Structure 1
Amino acid sequence: MKYLLLLTSLLLFSAGVFAQVNTDSVTYNKQRNKINAMLAARKVKFSQYDSSLTKRSGIFRMQTKNDIRRSNDILMDIVSTDDEIFIELKKLFDYRTSQLNYTAYQKKQIENNAKEIEKARIGYMNTINSYRKQNEALSAQLKKQIEDYEKKKVLSIIVFGFMLASILVLLVINRKRKA
């Protein structure tokens, strides 16, 4: 039982730590609860007013001045409560308006960030494409240079072969003259 209680309290604590609470919505909910409490108090006062209207403490079951004054006092209290409710409702609407404005601002920021990211992505793609074209051009140039080198190499071997053959022919001719 002791471990169960400890485990439960640990889970509740960790849930509270990891929960993400929006302070604006907490304030909004507090304001709503405050207004609901004020409306409940107004309902109680109105039922008091209704019962005070039926109260007749005078002779022959007539209303006295004190009965009417008590009813008027309760009515004035209801009116002041209504005024407070209107003030609190205005605060509530202001919270809601500010939340909506903030949400619209966040949406606009997200759209702007998305546009900037899209521009950067297009820029990166263009850069990659230009590098790819440049790489293809350099590869083609390298291939052509390798082919030219191979042709020059073959030509050099042929020329060297002719020179060697010429030297051998001259040596053979030179030996025949001396002999």
Structure 2
Amino acid sequence: MVFVSMKSKLLAMKQLYRFLFVGLLVLMATSCKRSVDSLSINEAETRLIGTWTITQVKNNVRGDGKWFRNDVTGSYRDWEISFNGDRTLTIYIPDENLTLSGDWQMYEDWSTDSDGDSEWNTFLSIYAYDPQNPEVWRTMLWEEMRISGTELRAKEEALIQGERVFYFYELRR
């Protein structure tokens, strides 16, 4: 019969908990979405490159900028946006069997308020058109982006018939 002292058990448990805690911190640090504003422009562009599928779009017609008012996903269901390393892109719209071609650009903007506080924002500008019919086109200007290896979220502000409307996009790889 082997006897283990209570002190040895406590030390072993303490080491196990420390190991689990550190492992959890590492997992959280490597898997969370990060605001694109906290990344270098090159790192943000690298994360963006690839094919993304729109999974949800909501808008807010009140113009107050709050997330998730009206679900308008049906108008964007399963759109595929492929961002290429040469800053070209394609948008495939399955409901219309339409493929748009265009380009994208990510840029940073610094702004300073009257108190001298600076804010750094990253924007993604998207322009795409139908090569068969150039009168069919789409532009988007995304901001407040969050991006991980598998999920992208972005906000777009638009002026529609004189009213501010916010769109909130969720995409997955």
Q: TM-score range by the shorter chain?
A: under 0.3
Q: Relative CO higher for 1 or 2, CA cutoff 8 Å, sep ≥ 6?
A: 2
Structure with the larger strand share: 2
State which structure, 1 or 2, has the greater radius of gyration over its C-alpha atoms: 1
